[in-house]
Amino acid sequence: MITFDAVRKQYPDGTVAVDDLDLQVEEGDVVVLVGPSGCGKTTTMRMVNRMIEPTGGTITVDGTDIMSTDPVKLRRDIGYVIQQIGLFPHRTTAENIATVPELVGWDRSRIRERVAELIDTVGLPDGVADRYPHQLSGGQRQRVGVARALATDPPVMLMDEPFGAVDPIVRGRLQDEFLRLQAEVHKTIVFVTHDIDEAIKMGDRIAILSEGGVLQQYETPASILAHPANAFVEDFLGEERGLKRLSLIPVKEVTADRGPVVTVGTNATDAREVARSQGADWVVIVGDDDTLRGWSWTDELADPVDGDAAKPFVTQVEAQDSLRTALDALVSSWTGVAVRVSGGDRYEGLLTRELLTAELHDDARARL
């Protein structure tokens, strides 16, 4: 756990980078510091390992005041992923990852085992261990940076725009991988970014800072999106708050409609009746055991209903996808619904625009 108590950083020229900051980072949480440039987010993070020394207040890591710890020892106990990664160009992947274990004096065989384990953990391919950083792709370098920070399994990690140096596609993949990894390792993480979408995706909690290091709001992403504390936060969250909120809610939170569904072999008249009763001019066609076959307009139905003639749904969603993905599926489909499946082809039901809207409002109420 990291606690900021009335922390202040004022430079000799009088500039205040961080002002009277109170913040508590719970054990195992990812706290994202986000804000416009000049908001002191990086300064705040760098005060934790004394790369920058606070000029007021106290910072404690697991109950110990950082100012009472030797900065070098403090830093060895805190994983650090720097902006631009900062890999050592003259050291191979394995040597980079081994940096902190070497500093703290692990023996060779223990280091070798740990390096091999980490290369695997962060998803680096075999054979990169002996390559130099310039021989790696951007995404691989990023993974080495994370592995290096994890080397001695520090309970606390600081990450300064760790995915800033790679293209958006690789970034998305690294973020997903990192979230999966974090679910296993449960580090206490302070994460800095200027990208609110990254903050919403990565953070258990988000601290929004404004110029001069003033904390504007500190809550879960869902709460902040549902209830921005003030105009600054609202402005910083930007457009499409509804979409951003949908991206936080998984499909499994919503009970899907059964919808106008007919089984292969039903006669066409019965099938049209099913559609009519639900106010639709199309039906979902499933096989035995609710295997999804596709859909059909009612006036194009074969008699009896034929699974092979059914049109496929362009996109399908599963329980762990976000409602934003469901919305995308919904607006891309002829039928105006997103079809939910499990295990790839088992029909679970339909998500409609009404269901999504209701969820946003219910969600807002539930978190009041």
Partner 1 sequence: MSTLLAQSGRPFPDWAWFDERNVDRLRDLFVEHVQLTGLALLFGLLIAIPLAVAAVRWRRLYSPLLNLTGVLFTIPSAALIIAVFAFLPVQTFGLKPRTSVLALTIYTLLILFRNTVAGLDSVPRDVTEAATAMGFRPSRRLLRVEFPLALPVIIAGIRIAAVTTLGLVTVTAFIGQGGFGQLFITGFQRQYTMEVAVGVVASVLLAVLVDLLLVWAERALTPWSQSRGGAT
Q: Which residues bind partner 1 (CB under 8 A)?
A: 49, 51, 72-76, 80, 82-92, 99-100, 103-104, 131-136, 148, 158
Minimum gap (Å) between residue 222 Cβ and partner 1: 32
**Cβ contact 172:104 at 8 Å:** no
What is the DSSP secondary structure assignment for residue 33, as one 8-state letter?
Answer: E
Minimum gap (Å) between residue 134 Cβ and partner 1: 5
Strand ranges across the sheet with 78-81: 78-81, 156-160, 188-193, 30-34, 205-210, 214-219
Which C-beta is closer to partner 1: that of 29 or that of 95?
Answer: 95
Which C-beta is closer to partner 1: that of 118 or that of 158?
Answer: 158
Which C-beta is closer to partner 1: that of 43 or that of 92?
Answer: 92
Alpha-carbon span 282 to 295, nearest angstrom: 7
In terms of DSSP bridges, do strands 64-65 and 261-263 run parallel, antiparallel, or are they unpaired? unpaired
H or E segment and range at residue 187: none
Which C-beta is closer to partner 1: that of 49 or that of 298?
Answer: 49
Map residue 75 onto helix, strand or coil.
Answer: helix
Alpha-carbon span 30 to 159, nearest angstrom: 10
Residues 6+ apart with CB under 8 A from 279: none
Minimum gap (Å) between residue 209 Cβ and partner 1: 21
Minimum gap (Å) between residue 26 Cβ and partner 1: 23
* Total Cβ atoms within 10 A of residue 340: 25
Minimum gap (Å) between residue 196 Cβ and partner 1: 24
Minimum gap (Å) between residue 310 Cβ and partner 1: 46
Which C-beta is closer to partner 1: that of 103 or that of 319?
Answer: 103
Cα maximum dimension of the chain: 84
Kindly calculate the radius of gyration of the chain based on its CA atoms and give it in whole angstroms: 26
Minimum gap (Å) between residue 231 Cβ and partner 1: 36
Alpha-carbon span 213 to 8, nearest angstrom: 9
Burial tier of 20 (Cβ tally within 10 Å: 0-12, 13-18, 19+)? middle
Which C-beta is closer to partner 1: that of 149 or that of 301?
Answer: 149
Tokens for 48, please give them.
């934790």
Which C-beta is closer to partner 1: that of 174 or that of 280?
Answer: 174
